[in-house]
Amino acid sequence: MTTAFDFSFTGLNGEPLPLKKFEGQALLVVNVASKCGFTPQYTGLQALYQEMHPRGLTVLGVPCNQFLWQEPAKETEIAAFCAVTYSVTFPMTEKTHVKGGHAHPYFKWMRERLGKAAHPAWNFHKLLTDKTGAPVAAFKSKVEPGSAELRGAIARVL
């Protein structure tokens, strides 16, 4: 059986980022962009990561330029923007396709498991897996990181 931990990305720093590294942790994978109306959600994602990482949650930011080209920057610029503007310390991947034929296999797999809800319709779409790597839920962009809906789902898998 495939789990989230069977997939691998390339980190923002260009190094391999196998999700196996996070085995035993719940994962909140979020497609992000620096020039989006939802970009301020980085603040909430960082707060969620700081609060819940010790309990077993990893937030993974996946920059994506598929929604009105709202992530035009290079990886080094994305890293600097996130660190300086939002003090992001959670892991991030290189720019990645999250929808369509060229979507990263992780996103295709989540859609197969959770259906249409797992298909990102915009930036800051959130995908949650539990500590075994099983898909749990998908959350639309408008669901804030601090919302009761998201926090409740995370609490149930920790």
Which positions are annotated as active-site residues?
36
How many Å apart are CA 130 and CA 135, to the nearest integer?
A: 7
How many Å apart are CA 117 and CA 133, to the nearest integer?
A: 18
Total residues found in the chain within this entry: 158
Tell me the one-letter amino acid at 57. L
Give the DSSP letter string of 95-141. S---SSTT--HHHHHHHHHHGGGGS--STT-EEEE-TTS-EEEEE-T
Helix/strand/coil for 43: helix
Helices 75-86 and 41-52 pack at an angle, to 10 degrees, of 80
